Structure 1
């Protein structure tokens, strides 16, 4: 048994002095105050962050990122559970056979816990019940081309076919909300290294129209809908209205949408390319306010890495570069650095712990310091700063837009299922497990 005391433990929604005992991978006791024989730690002792939006890419594209490297990076960033998206692996996770292949690919590689989503593509609605029986935590779809030809976008008829099935399982449909007009501007074609031209090529209206579509279908089919990576502040109002009317609509944004801004992104810097794009500072301030108000429910990394060779780093061609931000390791510090000026630590922690756990319906065993819960814990120092250096980045590939930035919030230790996995800058363990939904029948 290990006993840990911190003067700042995240218990019942507030920071307070407490001693936590860990035994057999679980929290065995929680005692307010300091007890005899407890190890004293400096910093906040809290549940590990939960990243509900990660692209791991294994099997099939492990040269982009794999479970071994992704979960190491997660542990270094204070994340104890990730959820893997269905589209960047090959085969894509749209059948039960593909899901089993992905599960097999995790063997011996999980430094943190990992859950999974199924994918919805045209024509695979019949595969969804088996995937949901197998324990996926939700179903992901795109309303615009995903970038992966094996994972085509759906249309309204596909959604109307699938959503009643998903609703029966009480799982969320996660939607990449952009609806393309199919038009690439002459400006962007002629100036492919211009960030402003790229930004103009994916206007806010794409997001707003898509959000309105899925909200309307959510109302019609009584299916929970989750809007991933909200970047357009123009979409916030309709999300807020749907929630106020009691519809099962949730939404997330990402650290890169609140940490970076379009005005400061130089031309030809493809590491900043993602979809939807990083928008202007005034827009991104509204995203922060929506997080504080509870309109946006939590922050997720949308870690979408790729080899430098397809990021077009050498040419700076934003038209050809693969879109995606490598940011898994920086979910916690980049989000906190962005938000610390407008919210307290107590207001911030739920955005990366409590709220994603509730959304994933794993809050009966994760995301809380309470007896019987999984001992997924971190020791975090919110006022301690560090510079992001390439040699400390544990993603498969080091290039990241966060490199060289000074961030607040250093993680000194990450404990997964009772075992220390990361401590003082080094990976020291490997104890992650697969995470399945409550309704899993396999």
Structure 2
């Protein structure tokens, strides 16, 4: 508590600044650093108040939410030009952060469901309010109704669980349930949110039409709500793991291979990164469905790594869009001749996207591959194709955007600002140095 009081005292001189946009930026960064010092890894659950508390899994995801939301404000520099829109944008980001904070900190299933749905509203406002094209209306409807309709069965299942266990606290779910229908009711919305192949069509649409802040929060945090919910509820269905694992692991690996092939024919940079998110989160789904310790730990580590690397790639796509006026790979060519320093960041994050060392993606992918092959050696072929095509579309993205003859219609150009390099560094540093503290990932089980 003293740490948060110290944080509020530090905020007093910041409120005297005229630029409220950067005040919010500094506030969120300060909140992130103060939050890092608050957790005690010796206890299993740190209770905050009533039905709210942290374990290591919720702690890491809340910290990731604070970090990504602060980087969203740093990336959305153009919104700062008009005072009303910048204030409303900061208000929307803070409301989204509050919803995510309560969702990840909730110990009750119903409170988690409540804030899970509330987080949709600020995300929808970001897409509708600051999207680029008129199609953002259709993308917002896709996002809203896919999640809303899939979550209605879960609301009914929550009340059914309350009748069985007499409580909705996650730790009170003591004995497993042998109902495949209840499994679908609870996890359908999580499968949509991850997203699983066949019900993933809302994600590329939402990413393409969203502003850079919307793409960052979608890839960085919103997809993790699905994985977090599945990790919390999988112990309820350990008795039927043999029936459902074959189906969902097969879909995740086959869908990952198909989506990786789709990435190789994309011409829009954001669309390519969005489809690569589907492939990576499909691997996360496969790891969760193995019902193994390595699968759970690898899925959680992959979620954190994907949240940072995918968010950074969307930031790089936005930097190119601000210069060229297009996200097409046909126009974004030869950028190494115009922005050689930014090419380094393209290379680093493309390498992280293909799980090259020393990124956290490598550790998560090794653990997931180990768990999936241990479950069935037949997965080896699909995982080999997924790893190979992951390198293919990452190199395709880097080579097509950085090499070749640059667009002759560019009359003036900005080589890059301090804000943009700081934004890249704040993505890259935790992504490549968290691998040194990988033992904390195993503390959430």
Q: Which TM-score bucket, shorter chain as reference?
A: 0.3 to 0.5
Normalising by structure 2, we get a TM-score of: 0.32
The structure, 1 or 2, with the larger RCO (C-alpha pairs under 8 Å, 6+ apart) is 1
Comparing both structures, which one devotes a greater share of its residues to helix?
Answer: 2
Comparing both structures, which one devotes a greater share of its residues to strand?
Answer: 1
